[in-house]
Structure 1
């Protein structure tokens, strides 16, 4: 069988690096091309070739990606950031490869948490009550103010003194307290839910630092996911983030239309969404059945060292001598 080439974006981030490690772990004959806004990232040592590209909202991004796909004869593109999902989906007709992404209109709704709230409310799907600052009715004892777009914990304020003074680029939600859970789920090409895995997690700087598989909420989560999928436009691996309050009520507060940052953890606990993606979109195979196991994970730091290197611009792929320590 001819060697396949997969392009993975965002190799400087934890999502992209997890995807790279998962692809390498499969032992299939796959050549990996990586892209990032930086030419030198922690993911370079896992790639056969790498490229620096503009930010996804830059007009030069799609032409740059299209050229890389042509020059490298890429078969499949796996975007790993929310904005790249949207732009690559929107302009997929300009990319001469399969782009694994939800429909652009759906991805755009999920880029904006306030649009997500409106979308879910219109469909009768649970989501945290949300207001624009100018519309906030002061009905809550505790609130959280956050940017409508963005990721991690950037720009968040708890109980701001004058919440209605903020602009429409922000939104307000009740400050729900309880257990934070993250649910990865995979939507097959035929539009069916292939499986899910939910983990309770702790965050550090907006990213998962510890996680534990939990199953007690799956029966309540499946109808929520099924309604989301029935609305159309979702495909591949996605992520739903929720709070479970003291009464056991699940309150979703964010949806990511991409493979999430815990993909490397999930892979080892039986939910192998990167593998399912390659099986369906690269090899035209049915994805393996989901067989999850219990488990706990904690994240650590490690180093990629290039002995005797003096110029990082030359460190573009896995052929440069390096030590992982």
Structure 2
């Protein structure tokens, strides 16, 4: 196989860094380009080249990506953030490469949790009941308020005293109590469900810190995923976050229209969605069948140390001497 070039966005975050590590683990002749809004990130040491880019909604973002794609001869782009999925998909025809991203109109719906609720519920797919904050009817004993757009746990409020007076852009959902699960789903090139993988998880600041593979919810999650896929527009990997209530009901409450942050964990537990994307969109191969196994994972803090360095701008690729400790 001749050497190919893959660009991964958002390498300052755990999603992008997981994608990079997964690709490296395949031991294929792949050159990795990483992009981020910062010039120096923890993901730089995983890349052959790293490039600073504007925010995806900035008018200069697509021209900058076009330049990088042309200069570095990029064969494939894998976005790791929700907004980049949308903007790259919307501008896919301007990019002289392949982008693994859901259709723009679908990605845009899933950027907004309230629009997600309206879209899925109107199509008979379960999703947590939701209200725009100013229209909340006080029908629930306990509620959670969250920004309609955004990621992780930023801005979340439990049982706010005056939910109708929250800033514009907030929405309300019932505060469902139970087990939180995260389900990764991969849609193949034919638009069919290739497989899914579910874990119980604990979060710190919106990031999974502990997780355990579970299989007992797969049948019900498959029904939900198949219905979502049948609506069209989903490409590659996406993620469903749900609560399993004390009564046993599964209540999805957020959809991430991208590869999720636990990609590096599940890669080692038999569900390798980054590999499937590489196989389908870079190598033109049929992706391997998922073979999930039981397992538990936790995350630790590690250091990337650059001895004898004093200039952040020079620490932009894996050729710079460094220690992982």
Please, what TM-score do these two structures have when normalized by structure 2? 0.99
| Structure 1 partner of 2:55 | 55
Task: Give how far 1:168 is off.
Answer: 3.8
| Structure 1 partner of 2:219 | 219
Structure 2 Cα separation of the partners of residues 180 and 197 of structure 1? 14
| Structure 2 partner of 1:188 | 188
Alignment map for 1:241-260 (pairs within 5 Å): 241-260=241-260
| Structure 1 partner of 2:32 | 32
| Structure 2 partner of 1:90 | 90
| Structure 1 partner of 2:317 | 317
SS of match in other structure, 2:131: coil
Task: Give how far 1:102 is off.
Answer: 0.2
Alignment map for 1:124-203 (pairs within 5 Å): 124-203=124-203
Q: Aligned-pair RMSD on alpha carbons?
A: 0.6
- Report Cα offsets for 1:147-184 as digits up to 9, x if no partner: 00001111111111111112441100000000000000
Residues paired across the two proteins, number: 325
SS of match in other structure, 2:69: helix
Please, what TM-score do these two structures have when normalized by structure 1? 0.99
Q: Structure 1: any 5+ residue segments left out of the alignment? A: none
- Report Cα offsets for 1:37-56 as digits up to 9, x if no partner: 00111111110001000000
Q: Which moved more, 1:244-253 or 1:133-142?
A: 133-142
Structure 2 Cα separation of the partners of residues 42 and 303 of structure 1? 9
SS of match in other structure, 1:234: coil
| Structure 1 partner of 2:17 | 17
Structure 2 Cα separation of the partners of residues 319 and 257 of structure 1? 33
| Structure 2 partner of 1:207 | 207
Query: Which consecutive segments of 4 or more residues in structure 1 shift more than 4 A?
Result: none
Q: Structure 2: any 5+ residue segments left out of the alignment? A: none
| Structure 1 partner of 2:99 | 99
- Report Cα offsets for 1:172-222 as digits up to 9, x if no partner: 000000000000010001011000110000001110000000011111111
SS of match in other structure, 2:266: helix
Structure 1 Cα separation of the partners of residues 73 and 204 of structure 2? 38
